[in-house]
Amino acid sequence: MRALPGDTVAICPPLVITEAQVDELFDALQRALSRFADEQAGQARAVAG
């Protein structure tokens, strides 16, 4: 995974990957994005409060 300009992320899995591994990759990405969003919301509340 790598960041690209703007709000884009490139996901570059290996050429040989199982469906289960693809699912695991996207599950991990979802958890990371959710955690980041939660942290950002907490910081926004702290600044506003």
Domain residues for 29? 14-48
Domain annotation covers residue 9: no
> What CA–CA distance (Å, rounded) separates 9 from 28?
14
Domain annotation covers residue 35: yes
Report the number of distinct structural domains present in the chain. 1
Tens of pLDDT, residues 1-49: 888 999 898 998 899 999 999 999 999 999 999 999 999 999 888 888 7
Residues 1 and 11 sit within 8 Å (Cβ to Cβ): yes
Domain annotation covers residue 7: no
Domain annotation covers residue 36: yes
Domain annotation covers residue 5: no
pTM surpassing 0.75? no
Domain annotation covers residue 25: yes
Domain annotation covers residue 40: yes
> What CA–CA distance (Å, rounded) separates 7 from 9?
7
